[in-house]
Amino acid sequence: MTAKASTGALGFLLATGIAAGTHAETFRWAGTTDPQTMDPHAVSSAPVLGFLNNVYEGLVRRGRDMSIEPALATGWEPIGDGAGWRFFLRQGVTYHDGSEFDADDVVFSYERASSEASDVRSWFATVSDVIKVDDYTIDVMTNVPNPIFPDSIANWMMMDAGWAEANGAERPDKESGNHATLNANGTGAFVLSGRQPGLETVLRPFGDWWGEVEHNITEATFLPIQNPATAVAALLSGDVDLINPVPIQDAERLSGQDAVTVIRGIEARVIMLGFAHEAEALKYGPNTGDPNPFRDVRVREAVASAINVPAILQTIMRGSAEPASQLVSPAMRGFSAANDMRPAFDPDRARALLAEAGYPDGFGFGLKCPNDRYLNDEAVCQAVVGMLAHVGVTAELDAMPVRNYWPELREDNFDMYMLGWSPGTFDHEHPVRFLASTPNSEKKLGSWNFGGYSNARIDELLPMIQSEIDDTKRQAMLDEVTALYQDEHAYVTMYVQPLVWGAQANVELTQRPDNFFILRWVRVN
């Protein structure tokens, strides 16, 4: 495990804007989605967690290659026979306001992040307690053995108990907000120095950060730019140093520019369509109030058969994306090679299934989509509308900014919806827990299973998957789970989202498959 870096002279150099041996720079980057909150426990979405990884830190973190490495814990070890994990905390760490980090903050952060009000509480589904052993040692007790627990908490960020309590932010509040919504006090490499939601968010280096400083940034500003043409123009003019994403249709043109670089990769995010499994009636479209067709597996299969994923990949994604057969991509641990087939595009079968289910003339419903969250999200949804129309199903599309989108899904205001999922653990167990488990607040399961999909066998297998240390036995259970949610068409998985970033040619950075942009690895030459 790595040792704590010295923060004396190095911290002074950063505080004065001079990185050792290099010149210092301001940095401006743009994305389509503004993080909804500065609270690390309020919203479990990549725009929030990715941004806040620059401000807050967890006990562990992911490196450039996505491997788990020490952060606020210098080491960890299992307790007894699968009873839990002991973490040894880094000493000498301070928050941005100068307060010291210790075990009390970990206990507080667990209580806060696992509370009813938290959007990340599913991370702690197997945790029974967090116990302070001494000021720099904590025990995380689990109700079943959990061999992958350290891998699962890279985004569980520590908050200062005293700061939160002094500012009335003891619990997250994603609906009304509180002091932690617009303010932050982390231990990370950057300090939040300005926040204007929807306009800009400004970060500055933390001079007393414990880690090794690799960047040469004196100020970093994030700008939400929803219009793709505006973002490209800002990059070409030099007004911003990075845009994420680059519009697919502009990638080749930008690649030919000497002043900019296009960085490509494959994200660990599967784009899918979800259904209102539990709803008794349709809520939108001409058939509002009629019995909900999506409760019938034949209708869900018809939707899957009607969508021409290869055409979407070729025309909208310009060949940059890969088809997805399940809730994770082939790069993830636990991917089911035995079930690596997605429904074929077959509109005749779709029509036959609809007729068999009692809808020979189709029906109308509402499709909810974001228009600033995923790459070409609204365009993909428009294509889906057209494809469903060919089999007699009329989708009324409602596309909206993501800040409005998540509240709509949480209020069950949909018949069908788009969702993208990137497993924080890079393991198939993650989306099974969040998306395929029967929603259960007490057990902290299914918190993003908006449609209420439920399968008793999946619920039975999940704790066994979480505790199994034999990879062969574990994979067999994941294969069974995959077959179950595929056979029931719980979701229509479409494709793995590509990563396409554009940066000024003088910028060095790291593109990770989780699509998190980590400022401490940025250098402006």
DSSP code per residue over 355-366: HHTT-TT-EEEE
- E strand or H helix at 305: helix 297-306
Give CA–CA dist 262/260, Å, rounded: 7
Question: Interhelix angle for 377-389 vs 297-306, to 10°?
Answer: 110
pLDDT above 90 (res 21): no
Return the structure tokens found at 521.
């690895």
Quote the radius of gyration of the chain (alpha carbons, Å): 23
Tell me what the mean pLDDT of segment 345-373 comes to: 97
Counting Cβ atoms within 10 Å, is residue 98 exposed (0-12), middle (13-18) or buried (19+)?
A: exposed
Name 422's Cβ contacts closer than 8 Å, sequence gap at least 6: 46, 267, 268, 269, 270, 514, 515
The pTM for the full model equals 0.86
How many distinct helices (H) and strands (E) make up the chain? 16, 19
- Structure-model confidence comparison of residues 515 and 11, the more confident one: 515
Cα–Cα separations (whole angstroms), residue 279 to 197, 275, 401, 443: 34, 9, 24, 22
Task: Give the span between the Cα atoms of 232 and 250, in whole angstroms.
Answer: 8
Residue pair 333/427 in contact (Cβ under 8 Å)? The answer is yes
Q: What is the pLDDT of residue 468?
A: 92
Polymer length of the chain: 525
Q: Could you tell me the CA-to-CA distances from 490 to 195, 201, 254, 425 in Å, in that order?
A: 39, 38, 39, 22
Q: State how far the alpha carbon of 332 is from the alpha carbons of 122, 135, 377, 423, 462, in Å.
A: 19, 36, 23, 8, 17
Average pLDDT (126-151) is: 95
Q: For residues 94 and 187, is the Cβ–Cβ distance under 8 A? A: yes
Largest distance between two CA atoms of the chain: 75
Pull the structure tokens for residue 237: 């003019």
**Average pLDDT, stretch 133-151?**
95
Whether 24 shows a pLDDT value over 60: the answer reads: no
pLDDT digits (tens, 9 = 90+) for 406-459: 999 999 999 999 999 999 899 999 999 999 999 998 888 999 999 999 999 999
For residue 469, name the pLDDT band (cuts at 50, 70, 90): confident
List helix spans (H) across 144-200.
149-152, 161-166, 179-182
d(CA 321, CA 298): 28
**pLDDT, tens digit, 9 for 90 and up, residues 52-98:** 999 999 999 999 999 999 999 999 999 988 899 999 999 999 999 99
What is the token pair recorded at 72? 């606020």
Helix (H, G, I), strand (E, B), or coil: what is residue 334?
coil
Alpha-carbon span 90 to 75, nearest angstrom: 9
Residues ≥6 apart with Cβ < 8 Å to 164: 108, 112, 170, 180
Under 8 Å between Cβ of 306 and 483: no
| Token code pair at residue 393 | 């199903």
What pLDDT, on the 0 to 100 scale, is given for residue 23? 54
Distance CA 83, CA 442 (A): 21
518: nearest Cα among 246, 215, 240: 215
- Are 429 and 334 contacting, i.e. CB atoms less than 8 angstroms apart? yes
